[in-house]
Amino acid sequence: MPHRACPAWLGPLLACPLRRLIHKPEAILRPYLTLGMTVLEIGPGMGFFTLPMAQMVGANGRIVCVDVQFKMLEGLQRRVKRAGLADRVVARVCSEDSLGVADLAGQIDFALAFAVVHEVPDEQRLFLEVQRALKPGASCLIAEPRGHVLADDFEKTVLSAAEAGLEQMGRPAITRCHTALVRKLSTSPQPKA
């Protein structure tokens, strides 16, 4: 899905601990994660959010990370292994056309799409795949950087999520981000005629 993907050489910078001065993963994600959850992380880069999430879901939880860039996932796997969390994190290379998560239908408790949707050529398809992967009532946090994404474009993103059957629940405050918390509706969306 990399029509404007962040280059892999920026991965270490995105995982830099100094980023915590702006975004504290635990504070952002604590309201949504509990022990034992299965989480889908789209575009994890080298794991800025992945490692804290793996700690938050505990030994019985799992983080499934999908990214189109193998080099990003290599860096993620090195960091996860060093942190002793490799048994909780599954890294998958996805294609430009699909997240490759059909095998996870109805198994995901929470999904995170942080600063990645603007890189995806087909938002509608992305959200349909997320919707199918989520358990009924499960939520997805969408956050897009204000510096890269205009407010009107983010509203189109939220509309794409709604058309895929993800109901907006709120707009959590995250520094320098447009945000939406959405959840899977109990009924699937009807295909467009």
Domain that holds residue 144: 24-184
pTM of the complete model? 0.88
Structural domains of the chain, count? 1
Q: Please indicate, yes or no, if residue 97 is contained in any of the structural domains.
A: yes
Q: Please indicate, yes or no, if residue 112 is contained in any of the structural domains.
A: yes
Q: Please indicate, yes or no, if residue 3 is contained in any of the structural domains.
A: no
CA distance 18 to 124: 33
- Helical H segments across 15-122, by residue range: 25-29, 50-57, 70-82
Q: Please indicate, yes or no, if residue 128 is contained in any of the structural domains.
A: yes
Burial 151-168 (b: 16+ CB within 10 A, else e): eeebeebbebbbebbbee
Q: Please indicate, yes or no, if residue 118 is contained in any of the structural domains.
A: yes
- One digit per residue, pLDDT tens: the chain, 193 residues? 334 666 555 544 455 565 555 779 999 999 999 999 999 999 998 899 999 999 999 999 999 999 998 988 999 999 999 999 999 999 999 988 899 999 999 999 999 999 999 888 899 999 999 999 999 999 999 999 998 899 999 999 999 999 999 999 999 999 999 999 999 987 655 555 4
Q: Please indicate, yes or no, if residue 6 is contained in any of the structural domains.
A: no
CA distance 106 to 132: 6
What's the CATH code of the domain at 69?
3.40.50.150
- Closest by Cα among 108, 120, 121 to 166: 108
Q: Please indicate, yes or no, if residue 12 is contained in any of the structural domains.
A: no
